[in-house]
Amino acid sequence: MIHFNFENIEEVAIGEDTKQWLMELITAENRKPGSIEYIFCDDEYLLEINRKFLQHDYYTDTITFNYVKGKTISGDIFVSLPRIFENAQNLITTTDKELHRVLAHGILHLIGYNDKTEEEIKEMRAKEDYYLELKFGKN
């Protein structure tokens, strides 16, 4: 199942409707939910994860650790809330939409979508947009 945890940051309210939306995303992609842990944190916490496990020395909004077995989706998804808030301002969107985009992004990585090439990025964005529209409606 899906759990929300907080490290080095004040908790924010994330409703059961968000968990339900993520479960619907998983089943729509013909997968089954396993154990999915979202760990919300600050920039420095996520930077340390990025350095320690990926040998990357830069800030990011999310890092996903994949524990998928077959069609059962499991993993740890680290999310920097300050980065989400900053990205929302830069992208001129709401923090709620940007947060949900990143939540979906982590699940989509677990499902097998990547974002290394231009084509993969376009496919990932299209999937994110599709599921965001289901959650928030058309803009």
pLDDT value of residue 16: 92
The amino acid sitting at 111 is: I
What is the tens place of the pLDDT at every residue in 5-34? 999 999 999 989 999 999 999 999 999 999
What is the tens place of the pLDDT at every residue in 52-102? 999 999 999 999 999 999 999 999 999 999 999 999 999 999 999 999 999
pLDDT value of residue 139: 60
CATH number of 2-136: 3.40.390.30
pLDDT value of residue 138: 78
**Residue 84 to residue 75: CA distance in whole angstroms:** 20
Other beta carbons less than 10 A from residue 30's beta carbon: 8
Q: Is-contact 114 130, C-beta < 8 A?
A: no
Domain boundaries, the chain: 2-136
Residue 25 CA to its chain's centroid (Å) = 12
In order of 16, 86, 105, 128, the CA distances from 48 in angstroms are: 30, 19, 21, 27
